[in-house]
Each structure stands twice: as C-alpha cells, then as structure tokens.
Structure 1
Amino acid sequence: MSQDLENNNQEPLEENTNQEVITKITGMYKDWFLDYASYVILERAVPAIEDGFKPVHRRIMQSMKDLDDGRYNKVANIVGHTMQYHPHGDASIGDAMVQIGQKELLIDTQGNWGNILTGDRAAASRYIEARLSKFALEVIYSPKVTQWQSSYDGRRKEPINLPVKFPLLLMQGAEGIAVGLSTKILPHNFIELIQASIKHLNGKRFTIYPDFPTAGIMDITNYNDGLRGGKVRIRAKISQQDKNTLVVTEIPYSTTTTTLIDSIIKANDKGKIKVKHIEDNTAENVEILIHLPNNISPDKTIDALYAFTNCEISISPLCCVIIDHKPHFIGVSEILRLSTDHTVKLLKSELEIKLDELQEQWHFASLERIFIEERIYRNIEEEETWDGVITAIDEGLKPHITHLKRAVTVEDITRLTEIRIKRISKFDLDKAQQKIEALEDEIAQIKHHLEHLIEFAISYFEKLLKDYGEGRERKTEIRLFEDIEATKVVIRNTKLYVNKKEGFIGTSLKKDEYVADCSDIDDIICFMQDGTMMVTKVDAKTFVGKNIIHAAVFKKKDKRTIYNMIYKDGTNGNTYIKRFAVTSITRDKEYSIGSGKAGTKVFYFSANPNGEAEKVTVYLRQVGSVKKLKFEVDFADQLIKGRGAKGNIVSKHAIKKVELKEEGVSTLKPRKIWFDNVVKRLNVDERGDLLGEFKGDDRILLITQDGIAKTIIPELTTRFDENYVLMEKWNPQQPISVVYWEGERERYYVKRFLIEHADKDELVITDHPKSQLELVTTDSIPVLEIIYRKQRNKEQKPNDEVNLEEFISVKGIKAQGNQLTTEKITQLNLLEPIEPEVSITEEEEVLDEEPLPKDNEADSSSESQASLFD
C-alpha cells in the first residue's frame, strides 16, 4: 500500500492521535475518474439534443446508410459493420438495434423482432433482417450538411451528429444511467409533435404529453413538462366482459403481460384480491382474461387491481440531454423548441447548399452555351500549348460574359475543354436556353424559401404529417384518475377476534369472540367500558384496553356511522347522553369519548351504520326521594355532534341499567350523490353533476347508446366505462319514453315502459344490427318535434309535434312499440314537456335534521343544561 501511495503522490495530512488519517487522492486516480464519468455521460448513456441519438444508435444508423441499397440486410451484418464505428461488443449493438426496430419508425423490420407486449425477446441477429425506412431516409440523412470526425481507431469518418430534421428524441424517448445522473425521456405522439412544432414556428403556445406504444390510460396531472419531480400515472385498460370475467386489453408502459400477470398472482396470494384463474390470449393485441369467483364485485376488483398490482404504475420522467458537450436538465417543451429551431437551421443549410449548386449549374450552362454558340472552340485549333488554349478560350469568352454572376476561372475553362465533339455537333440552342431558364426558376424558388424560411419549415412539417402521419394517432388515453383507497377495495380474507374482558384484539385469537372479516391493511376501532376509544392496525394480537364494549373495522371519513352512548361522567358525576361520529384519529392514541374523568362508566353503547336512533329504557337506583325509577329516552331527540361533545344530561341520580326498548330508523338526510364525468365516478364531494338524494334502497337508472337499460345501487366504487345517454335517480313509477330506429323495417318507433327487473340488463330496442337508439327521456308528458324531409316535386310537409303520452300507452319493456310515421324524417327533437296537473290533497311538512357537525366539535353549553329526565 505504501508503494501505491508513492506512485500516486498521495500526501498524508498531519496525524492527530484522536482522529483518523485523512489523505488526498491526486494524480491519475482523480483524472481517471473524471475521464470515466465524462465518457459514460457523453459517449454512452445520455442522448444529444441535436439528433436525439446516443452514440451507439447514431453509429447503427450510419452503418445502415453505408449498407443501404433498398434491400434487407441481416442484422448480424449490420452489427458487424457498426463495430467499425463502435468500440464495444456486438451484444450491446444488437440490443440497441432491436430497441430502435421495435419503435417502428426508423427501421423496416423482417423476422421475429420480439414483442413489447409480452416481453418476448427478438430472434438471434443472424435470423432477422432490417433496412432503413422511407421516413429515416428523408429525415435523418443529409451528407452535405453533416459534420464528420474520425472513428475511434482513425480508419473511418463518422458523423458527430446526424442532421435529423424532426423531434426524434421526444418521439422515441430515451433512458440511460450514467455516473452521477440518469435520464428518462418518455415517448410522445408523432402527430402531436409535428403539430407542436408548427405551433412553435407560428409563435403559438403548445403543450405535449407522452404517448406509449402499449397504449393504456394516463393521468398527466403531475407531468411537470418532464422535469425532475414530475410523475405520470399509467393504468391498464380493464373492462368487464361478464359478471365473473374481466378483460385487460391495454397495459401500462414499461410492463409486459408476463410481469402484469405475475403481479396479479402475487396480490392474489397475499389476499389483496381474489381471482379464480387467468388466461393470457395475447398475440398481436393484448387480451388477458381474469376470471373471478362468484359473489366478487367486478368493480371493486378493478379498483383493487389498480391499487395492488402493476395494472397501475407511476413513472417519474427526468429529461437530461447533452447540449454543448455538457448534460442539461430541461423540460420536453424546451427540447421540442430546440429541436424545431435546429430543424430550421438544417433546412436553411440545405437550401443554401442547393442554391450554390444551382448557381454553379447555371454558370456553367451559360458558359457552355456561349462556348458552343459563338464557336469559341475554333480559337484553339492553332494553339500548340495548354496555356495558349486557356488564353484563347478566355479571350474568346470576354465579349460575352457580362451577364454572368461571377468571374470565369481556369477550372471553368478546363471543364469547357472536356466537352466532347459529339455533344458540340448535336448542341440544341433552344434546349440549352430552356435548361438555363429552368435553373433560373429553381434558383428563384430557393431564394424565396430562404426569404420565407419559417413558412418553408412549416410546409416541411406539414408534408411529413401528410406522408407519414397515417396510423400514428394517439394510443394512450389521457384521463384524470380518481384516488383509490386501498382499504375500500381490498379483499377481507382474514377473520378478526376479540377478547373483550382482557382487552386483546387480533387475528390469532381464534378461541375468542369473532368480530368481522378484515384485511391486513385495515384499521380497527375499539370502545372500552371506561369511556375510552382507540384505533389500531390489524395485527395478530394487540392490547387496546380492558372491558371492550364494541370493536369493528374502522372506516376513515365515515360520517354515516353514528355512535349512540349513555355514560356516567366520573365516579359521582351526572349521566349524559350523546350521539357522535368518528371521522379521523391518530392511530394507537387513546381518546376519551366522555370527559376523561376517572371512574367514567358507559351504561349503553350502539354503533349504527346509517345513523339509526333507537329508544331505550333507563332504570334508576332507589336511593333517597327518587320517585320515578323508570323512563324512556329517544336518541332521535339528540343532535349528532362531535366526538368530544359532552352531551345532554339524562339524570343526576344513580342509574341502575339501560335497556333497548325499540330499534330505530335512520335520522340522517338522504345522501346527495354527484357524477364526475372527468374521472367517470360517483362521489359525495360535489364534483360534477348532481344525480339526486339517495336513501338506502334508491337506485340509479342507466341507459346506454346501444339501448341497454339497467338500474344500480349507487356505490362509490362503481366504474362507468361505457357511454350512457341517460343517468339519473330512478323513479320506479316514472315511465321511460324511447324513440329508436328499427333496423329491419327501417322506420322510427316509439315505446313507453317501466323497468320490470331492477337487477337485470334489458335491451329496450330490437336486436337487429342496424337498430339504434335515437332519443330517451323520463319526462312525464314528453313532446316530440318531427321535421320531415322534403320530397321531390312535393310541398314541404310542416313539422309535427307529438304528445308521446297520448301517442302510446305504457307497455312492457320487451314491446316493440308503435311506428312513429311512414314519412321520411330529417330530424327529431325533444321539446319542453307538458307539466302534469297536480292536485294537492293534504299539506306536507318536511322536517330537516341539523347537519352533521365537524369532528371534535364540543358541546360547550352541556354543563349548564338542565336534566332532561329527573
């Protein structure tokens, strides 16, 4: 070791007896690490902003151009040729080429190139073939504007950057890990990138979002332009095939059907979801069938798949690119702007080169015409030296070159001497002049493009869109995701038990009292006889407090479960009655649901899932002058308050016991439910359209565009993937009116019906393939406007208004209905309905309960309240 320190000039600092020796690392160790880090960042892992390629990809594309003859080449041959440019092994080149080929943009592939959906690898490079696509040939290569450098061994020239005239980096995406940094640029949509480039050239604002070859559904709320700290959530597309089968048709980016199925099996083994078996029928398109056991909710299972499996993943982008030989972290919008500006620069360079070439062609064509037309070639017949020949031609040209754009050089005269006698003899002056005029037109056009460079660049992008945009529409659907609470969708596969006397609760107490089914991520709420409460996580065995009077699975933010309680406040205190909800707590913290005094005792306790308010009988002890030893208390008379409220006094005298007299009914208002069309979910948070106020047995009426009618219980976990033309609170007594096109008879029909089976999907139009729903309404007396088509040689028939209640009576849901008319119809419209006559027979009085107060709202006046029952 001492020898190594000498060789590397390491100088130890002064040694302190109480500290470790600190040494400086200098010399080649310091230089080598910096060189290595720079090499990995610049030459291996991070793409360049100019062309969007890493070095290995750039060298592959240059090799394919070297070998390009329009036919397919063996990939093994291309890999071998690339090794002339790339100083690494053939395996890395082959893998990189497969990545390019699977993106189906730059390379036309032939053979088994693997499958990004299943994760199957490509065949060996000796079995598969490739050639450059037409898009690559048009967009990537332009040797005259390419800057070149020597290859690693100095034997060949390779491009520093390829002149890519397209935001290729954003189209293909990139991923790499270097020394001290990494990059992850997500792929974007071909059409949207071109449209964004055009907007940028027009000085307009634009926004671009990822688009993945595996499709799926994506939430880009936190994309943050691809910068550090951003995130996209991607979900598989899952639909319900029947009541016991789910089908996955699209998967998240960076997953495969194999990894997806493995994650589902793992979640099933852990008891998070319950699956019967899985079939993978994926070929060209994804098709994974997930078969469910009976009595398992498909909607909840879909949410559980998103919560516990790779059916939903998060990807954190990190846009790092090489700019001026340094890594830079920039957003995707800035990458697109830089790429578009670079494309304009390349187009300008190509135009300028083309202009120079055309001007040179015009110059020589003009010289050639003068040389032949003026017979200057005869001036050299008597010249015996080369210098004499040059001088004779130069002297002969001078009287005729005043209109040329530049001076005549020796090289120009030399080219004139190389014209063959046969060409001179067949020279056509008119054709020569036409060629010169054609060149002048091209020169004028090029100059016009240079003067209007932005318009030219826009036309270039529009041409790319027209030529190559077909079939490249967005695959990934952009949608806002609703937050899925794992505790609401997890399968409860464990049984919970409680030892009330000793105060233990858990899943291992199988000899004690059964409480409920639960999962390992649930929380448990427990109430004790001494007026305390605790919420704890499910475990094998947990001590919460002796003399447990109630235990259950805890639901966060649950305002509908109401606890009714009568308790004594301390050893000699009064007895109070209260109703409260528990919506939020700190886990494993003991709370007092009384006043927290020692000697507090609960006489009566009940948990009511829908706010039921029962009647109880209170028995007093016969002490002193107490006359009334028994009376009734109705919890419906009490307001629902916060957990910390003290409550109202039941009695100042000692209570012997409290017994249930009569079960109660819910005292809560009907629950208002909204439908959020953005995330396509029901909610109680006032997002979207209000569907109505729902009691326990109320349902939602749904009718699809395909004519399927059904009713459902309004559960917040229900998924709405179909397009519904009607969604409202269902009134079983309200007729539904439908106008539809009958495919077999090719006529419009009208029918009115009631839903006969609440739990059954019913087809309300005929099953002919051409039958389609036109209008649907639940108005009591709907009015339909008919606009007739004008018949040839006939007067226009005036519009009709039809009262559908009078037109047809309410019939069975399977009835075909009545034909609307035999005339040709242009349009059908629903007009304002007729209001039915209402007779008021008795006055109705509606009593509204007080709204549920927020948690921890204390009853500050309870101490001063008089006793309700003495």
Structure 2
Amino acid sequence: MQEENHEEINEEFGTQDTITKVTGMYKDWFLDYASYVILERAVPGIKDGFKPVQRRIMHSMKDLDDGRYNKVANIVGHTMQYHPHGDASIADAMVQIGQKDLLIDMQGNWGNILTGDRAAASRYIEARLSKFALDVVFNAKTTEWQASYDGRRKEPIDLPVKFPMLLAQGAEGIAVGLSTKILPHNFNELIDASIKHLKGRSFTLIPDFLTGGIADVSNYNDGKRGGKIRVRAKISQLDKKTLVINEIPFGTTTSSLIDSILKANDKGTIKIKQIEDNTAANVEILVHLPNGISPDKTIDALYAFTNCENSISPLCCVIDDNKPVFIGVSEILRLSTDHTVSLLKQELEIQLNELEEQWHFASLERIFIENRIYRDIEEEETWNGVIKAIDKGLQPHIKHLKRAITEEDIVRLTEIRIKKISKFDIDKAKQFIESLEEKIAEVKHHLANLIDFAIDYFKNLKTKYGKGKERLTEIRLFDDIVATKVVMRNTKLYVNREEGFVGTSLKRDEYVDDCADIDDVIIFRKDGVMMVTKVDAKTFVGKDIIHIAVFKKNDKRTVYNMIYRDGRSGPSYMKRFNVTGVTRDKEYDLTSGSKASVVLYFTANPNGEAETVTINLRAVGSVKKLKWDIDFSDLAIKGRSSKGNIVTKYAIKKIELKSEGVSTLKPRKIWFDETVQRLNVDDRGELLGEFKAEDRLLIINQKGIVKTVKPELTTHFDNDMIVLEKWIPEKPISAIYFDGEKERYYIKRFMIDNPNKEETIISEHPKSQLEIVSTDYRPMAEIVFSKRSLENMEVNLEEFIAVKGIKAQGNQLTTDKIKTINMLAPLPYEAIVIEDVEVNEEEVIDNENGETKNKSNDLNKNDEGQTTLF
C-alpha cells in the first residue's frame, strides 16, 4: 500500500493535522462491501421475491421436508450450510416469514405481530412448508443452481416462484447507500391483478396489512419513491366515557401504541383516565375518558398526537440482473406474472418431453415384445452383435416413431425382465400408449394457449388458497386533522394588558382562555397593530392590548369590527375584516399607517355578528349633529389592510354600543360523506341542509339513543346510526319498538324537549329493540303477522297515537305475534314555511395587500373612492 503524508501546521494553536491518502486495495473495499450488502443481504430479488437468507431458509426446509414438523433449531442449523452468517439472524428471518402466514406451517409460540411479543426460542418451536409453498415455490427441474459459499453443496440462484411473492409478503431492508420498503398486498387482489394483466386490462394495487386498520392510499404513487400512505387505528366509541381500539396501524404494536398514548397524556395534548389492554387473538384496547371530555374530539386527538395514525413512505427497490433498480409495484406484478408464465411454459415443455420419451419407449417396448425381436439375440455372442440384431429387428416397425432410435434405447430394451415379457398384455400396452397420446395432446394444447393456461393456474390458486385471505385493511380518504382544533387545552393563558405581556406563567394577571402548547395567540393593540405569536410562558407583545384570543387559522367566520382615528387629528374610519392567515411574530398595522393612530372601538365576533353603535362627537365649532347611530352590517367584510370607510372628520368623544348584532354570514351548507363518515362543506356526499349558528343535527342510532348535536366538522358518527338529518324542533319523531320486558310492540310519537340531553327511547331491558323510526310528519307502516290467517295491517302512526313526551312508553301496537314491520310511503303533508330574512352574501377575498371587493350593499362613495356616512 502506498501512503502520502501531508502535514499542515496551525500557526495559531501550534497543532499538526495529518492527512492520509488511502490507495491500493483499500480503494475497492468499501464498494465491495456495499455491493455485498445490497446484493446478498438487504434487498430482495425480483424473480422470486426473496432475500438470500429467506431463499436459503426455504431451500433448507425443502431439503428436510418429509411432511412432518421439524424443530426450527434444526432448520436453522441446516440453513447454515448455505448461509455464511450466525444462527440468530437466520432464526429471526424465519420467524418473520412465518408471521406472514403464507409459506410456513407453524407450531408453537411464534410471537404476536399485534402485541410485539417475541417468538419462543428456536429449540421450542417447529415448522414445515405450507401446501401453498410446496405448490408454487419449488421445482428442481426449472431451478438454476450455483455452488454454496464453501463449495460443498448446491443452492438455487433463484427459486422458481410462480406467484408475486414479493408483493404478498412485502420487504424491508437497509443496505449501504440505499434501502427498500415494499408494503404487503392482498393475496386475492394480487391474483386478480395478474389475471387482468394476462388479459391485457389495467389494474391498481393497494397495500393490505395483517394488522388491519384503516389506510388512505391516495398518494401511494404505485409504491415508488416519493409516495406516502397514511394508516390509522380503527377507533370507535363504546360508550360516553370509553373508546375502543380494535385494529392497529401497520408498523405498530399494542405496546408501542399504548406508550404513545400515555406520552401524549403526559404532555397534555390529550386527556385520558385509564388504558386497559385486553388484546389476545384480536386487538382490544379500552381508553377510558374523564368526565367532561368529548369522545369525538379525543378520537381526532389520538390520530393527531399518537401512533394511532402514522405515515409510511414506500420505496420499491429490488435486485434485477444483479443490480438494484427502483420500480413501481405494478411493474413488479407485471414482471412477476410474465416470469410465472415463463416458468409454466418451461414446466409444460419439460412435461411434454418426458411424455414423448415415455411414449417413444413404450412404443419401442411394444414392438420389441410383440414382434418377438428378443429372440433375434439368442445366437449372438458379442454385445455389439446383440445391439445390431435388435436394431435390425426394429427397423421394419419404427416408421411411426417421432425420433430415431439410439443405442441408449436399445440398451434399455435389453434390460426388460423375462417376467414382464411373459406377462405382456398387448391391449394394456395400447391403452397406456393412447393415454400418453392424450396427455401429450393436452400439454400441446396448453402450450398453444399458454395465456389461458396461466389464467386458469392463477384461478386455481385463488380457489385452493384464497379462502380466509380477504382484505383486512379498510381503504378510506382521510380528512386532515388540524392539531390546534383537537388538542386538549389544559393550560391557562393570561395577559397583562398595560405592560404588554402574554403567557401561561402570568397567573396573577387577567385570565384569557384555556390553551395548549401548540396554539397561537392573536393580539390587537390600541395603536392598531395586530400580531400572532406562539403560546409561551411569557412573551412581550406590546403595551395597551385591547383584544387577545387563541388564534384559529383559516377562520373566515370570525369577523372583527373596528373604528380608529387616523393620526393625531385625522378623520375616523370604520372597517370589518377577518384574519385567516398571517406570518407568526410579524406586526400588521390595521390603520392607514399614520403616526399616533388609535383604535376607538373594537369587537371580535365569532359568527360574523354586526352590532349597532352610537357615535358621540365633541362640541366643536359649528357642528350641529353631535350624535348618531351606525350599523356595522352596512359594511362589507374587507381585507385586514383596507383603510375602511370614513365615519367622521371631527373628533369623537365616545362610542357606545346600542344593540347587539346578528350574524351577517350566510347559513353554511353541510354535507355528510358516508365513505369517511364525516361532515364537510366541500360538496361531498349527501346534503344535510343549510345551518345557522343555532341549528342542530338530529341523530338516532339502532340502540334507540336520540340526541341533537351542533354540526361541527370534527364530529364522529357510529356505524349503527339510522337517522342523521337537520333537526326541526317542531317536527315529531315516530318509533315502533319491541319491549323486552312485556314482550309486546309499542308505538310512540314525541318531540325533543331538551336538545342538550342524550335520551333513550326504548326500555333498558336487554331484549328491547328499536324496529322502526320515522321523522316524516304523517308516517305509515305495514304490519305482517306471524299467523298466515291474519291479513297485513296498515297503521297510520299519526292517528294511532298523539305526540307525547320522549319518556312515554307509548301505545301497544297489537297482542298478536308480528313477523315483520315495514315502512310505507308517508301521507302527504304541507308544512307551513316561514321564510328567513334575507342576509347579505359576503365573499371574503383576503390577501397581503388587503385588496377586496364589496359584496353587500355599498354605501355612497365620494370622489376618492371612500364611503361617507353623513
């Protein structure tokens, strides 16, 4: 090895640095090592989908296979003849294959992918190849072999796998300079995709995980680099104070999930009372909530702050022709399917050759015995003479043969036993040859229709092994959860308005609101400056604070009404605006920018309210009108940087609130998207109606629980919900239910008296159940009796019973046994329509320059484009 040493003297410190240039064989060592790790350890091959250690494990299991279980320790020891690494890495790799429940038939404690429990020691557990593995993984006749690492044995270069094994099992590995992460896919869906590819049709592949859960694969990007999927636990509400997690996201265990929930609780981002882990064969984690904590909000918080939601970035890297390549899962499936077709063709060609060889020798044998050619060798004294005699005797009878006779064929004829010649049955020989001809014709037909044969092969795989391999992971589109909307606000925010400090440590000062560490705070000062800053223990934001609140990003419904004086003696302006997004810690001047401007009046209105105020001027000069009213609803909502409309050019003495305002915003249209079970304002799903601030949703579930809730977009809905609509307080609700205690059917009609209370409309007996519920004004029902002699009865529920209280038992429907109850079309009803007062539709255009357009009734404008009130 050559070395060049260079010494650099640092004059300031008097130290020496030595730089050594590495040359010779060391130049290639790192590259050799990186290539070895990529090709021989971390990345799977594209043909069979196995990493080298997995391939050697499968080959060893085939070596040992006799239909019985083998100790895993024995299999590991046998694999070490092929794999030049320790037994621990082989055992771990084998457990990972077994836990995917596809190739290995396991016996004993192989660990639990749900809880993360490890498998028992390899000396205690047993394994054998599954029937599926024996069917699709091995065929010595189509396998290419190479010498093992010590040259004593032969091992397969690739196993002849006739199935997209890589996509079924998935793969993950970290090499030198690259990594791979291929997600598992559903067994049956892979077969369907292979069939579609063979038929020339398009297909789409999406992951499926043994842990179940929910996944959003909208950005999967075919499993290529740059793609991402989001996976969530399946969480439902068991009761008012308990959530249950039944499925966990891929890449987590119940232990890691519970740890993340406990950490989030310690940080204060969520609030729970207790966690109970009842996981056995199936996941069951109970999350108990304290009093006053919303289950709906907690579900979103679990997704936002714990491992109940994770993002997975796939990276599809495989070995192809001894080189790593990055491709998509669709391309892997196409290549795998084409490789399967190639292997099937090889197997058919080998089978055809074997059948033709059988037919050839069976035909020779028949000729040899039937024509008694064996007698021609009786007089021959030499081996060559025997061969020539048999060859000469066969010549007149071999015109129908498909190939020429070789010396090897004749030698085989001489090995026929006398017993077989003496018992030779010509008819049986003919039947055997004819059966071979039928098989040959069948194989030739398969070769001529290779694609159809491959399709049938995949269909047969699905029939034999597809049962019990249905999709486990539910596919949904996830709505983005805004962390600040669901975080548990268990910290108190305080403000010192005069000195200009805000924070969570100012406990002696004025309390503002509950907040969380991730929240932002919006501050308005008397000098007309606004800023947004992050919650902290103590932050200086400027003196004379007139308004402070927890900031909601993209909030278009909170409207700020403001009157300010421009400069020391300038005119006063009024404006309405909202704040949807700003740069944190940047000061925004809401006035016209003149020095000594001051805010005279300010309100924050969470639902766009516009109040009326009284302006009082100072008595100056010849001004006659010193007092008048101004209605903020006459102004359009503009950008925060707009100058506003002139109130007066004279000095204002004071501004008084005359009357509270009502919302000037249009009612919101709200839709329900059944796919994701969420409300939205994006025109997805079923339109529930237009909602004002006071409107509510009516929800009734199969358990007979009735409640009304505010239509918040974060609300979660249970799967047993049977009624979801806009609640009309004056509209009666009709129900037919079976009382388990009295074993009779009852009809009741009621209206909700207390919208803030959740109530049950059936009795608490375990056999009680809700049969029919209707929110029609005049519902009709059909009663089908168990006795055939009784005719069906139509019931007008409006006439059957009057509207009573929600707790009333109702009237008994009948004493006869009922088979079924069916709802009929309701009778016509004309409701009295009370038209709402028309409100101004306001479209807010907010940008950094404050450029907006008036959308409502504008006031009179002067020559300078400003609006005057008098």
TM-score after normalising by structure 2: 0.91
Q: Which moved more, 1:120-129 or 1:225-234?
A: 120-129
Residue 177 of structure 2: aligned partner: 180
Shift of 1:519: 0.8
Residue 834 of structure 1: aligned partner: 828
Shift of 1:811: 5.0
Residue 576 of structure 1: aligned partner: 573
Match of 2:305 among 281, 299, 308: 308
Residue 606 of structure 2: aligned partner: 609
Alignment of 1:530-549 (within 5 A): 530-549=527-546
Alignment of 1:531-680 (within 5 A): 531-680=528-677
- Give aligned-pair identity as a percent: 70
Residue 681 of structure 2: aligned partner: 684
8 Å CA contact retained: 2:778, 2:826: no
Q: Which moved more, 1:659-668 or 1:277-286?
A: 659-668
Shift of 1:266: 1.2
Residue 288 of structure 1: aligned partner: 285
8 Å CA contact retained: 1:765, 1:773: no
Shift of 1:626: 3.6
8 Å CA contact retained: 1:750, 1:820: no
The verdict on how the C-alpha distance between 1:53 and 1:805 changes in structure 2, with shifts beyond 3 A counting, is same
8 Å CA contact retained: 1:43, 1:54: yes
Aligned with 1:5: secondary structure?
A: coil
Shift of 1:805: 3.5
Residue 513 of structure 2: aligned partner: 516
Q: Deviations over 1:536-555 (max 9, x none)?
A: 11112222222111111111
Query: Is 1:868 paired with 2:859?
Result: no
8 Å CA contact retained: 1:519, 1:538: yes
Query: Is 1:123 paired with 2:120?
Result: yes
Shift of 1:75: 0.7
Distance of 2:217 and 2:815 partners within structure 1: 50
Residue 256 of structure 1: aligned partner: 253
Distance of 1:771 and 1:243 partners within structure 2: 20
Q: Which moved more, 1:619-628 or 1:160-169?
A: 619-628
Distance of 2:141 and 2:405 partners within structure 1: 25
Distance of 2:340 and 2:172 partners within structure 1: 23
Aligned with 2:120: secondary structure?
A: coil
Residue 153 of structure 1: aligned partner: 150
Distance of 2:417 and 2:763 partners within structure 1: 85
Shift of 1:858: 5.0
Residue 857 of structure 2: aligned partner: none
Q: Deviations over 1:629-672 (max 9, x none)?
A: 44444434444333233333333221222233444443433333
Matched AA of 2:758 = K
The verdict on how the C-alpha distance between 1:847 and 1:737 changes in structure 2, with shifts beyond 3 A counting, is same
The verdict on how the C-alpha distance between 1:859 and 1:173 changes in structure 2, with shifts beyond 3 A counting, is closer
Alignment of 1:93-112 (within 5 A): 93-112=90-109
Query: Is 1:36 paired with 2:22?
Result: no
Residue 164 of structure 2: aligned partner: 167
Match of 2:316 among 311, 315, 319: 319
Aligned with 1:160: secondary structure?
A: strand
Q: Deviations over 1:607-647 (max 9, x none)?
A: 22223333434332233234444444443444433323333
Aligned with 1:674: secondary structure?
A: strand
Matched AA of 2:471 = R
Residue 56 of structure 1: aligned partner: 53
8 Å CA contact retained: 1:766, 1:816: no
Distance of 2:110 and 2:426 partners within structure 1: 58
Distance of 1:405 and 1:770 partners within structure 2: 81
Match of 2:377 among 377, 380, 388: 380
Q: Deviations over 1:54-110 (max 9, x none)?
A: 110000000000000111111111011001101111111111111101111100111
Residue 762 of structure 1: aligned partner: 760
Shift of 1:244: 1.2
Distance of 1:160 and 1:520 partners within structure 2: 57
Matched AA of 1:457 = A
Matched AA of 1:38 = S
Residue 392 of structure 1: aligned partner: 389
Shift of 1:27: 2.6
8 Å CA contact retained: 1:119, 1:256: yes
Aligned with 1:514: secondary structure?
A: strand
8 Å CA contact retained: 2:45, 2:319: yes
Shift of 1:754: 3.0
Distance of 1:164 and 1:816 partners within structure 2: 67
Matched AA of 2:248 = I
The verdict on how the C-alpha distance between 1:827 and 1:575 changes in structure 2, with shifts beyond 3 A counting, is same
TM-score after normalising by structure 1: 0.91
8 Å CA contact retained: 1:780, 1:836: no
The verdict on how the C-alpha distance between 1:849 and 1:472 changes in structure 2, with shifts beyond 3 A counting, is same
Distance of 1:159 and 1:623 partners within structure 2: 104
Distance of 2:255 and 2:840 partners within structure 1: 55
Matched AA of 2:131 = K
Number of aligned residue pairs: give it: 852
Q: Deviations over 1:319-347 (max 9, x none)?
A: 11111111110000000000000000000
The verdict on how the C-alpha distance between 1:770 and 1:406 changes in structure 2, with shifts beyond 3 A counting, is farther
Residue 780 of structure 1: aligned partner: 777
Shift of 1:681: 1.4
Distance of 1:763 and 1:823 partners within structure 2: 22
Which runs of 5 or more residues in structure 1 are unaligned? none
Matched AA of 1:542 = T
Q: Deviations over 1:241-264 (max 9, x none)?
A: 111111111111111111111111
Distance of 1:741 and 1:386 partners within structure 2: 99
Which runs of 5 or more residues in structure 2 are unaligned? 12-16, 855-860
Distance of 1:220 and 1:751 partners within structure 2: 46
Matched AA of 2:582 = I
The verdict on how the C-alpha distance between 1:369 and 1:749 changes in structure 2, with shifts beyond 3 A counting, is farther
Aligned with 2:462: secondary structure?
A: helix
Q: Which moved more, 1:110-119 or 1:818-827?
A: 818-827
Residue 438 of structure 1: aligned partner: 435
Alignment of 1:236-275 (within 5 A): 236-275=233-272
Shift of 1:405: 1.3
Query: Is 1:407 paired with 2:404?
Result: yes
Distance of 1:630 and 1:770 partners within structure 2: 68
Matched AA of 2:838 = L
Alignment of 1:206-221 (within 5 A): 206-221=203-218
The verdict on how the C-alpha distance between 1:67 and 1:345 changes in structure 2, with shifts beyond 3 A counting, is same
Q: Deviations over 1:675-725 (max 9, x none)?
A: 222322112333332212223332211233555443222122111241533
Residue 838 of structure 2: aligned partner: 847
8 Å CA contact retained: 1:782, 1:834: no
Distance of 1:858 and 1:62 partners within structure 2: 73
Aligned with 2:2: secondary structure?
A: helix
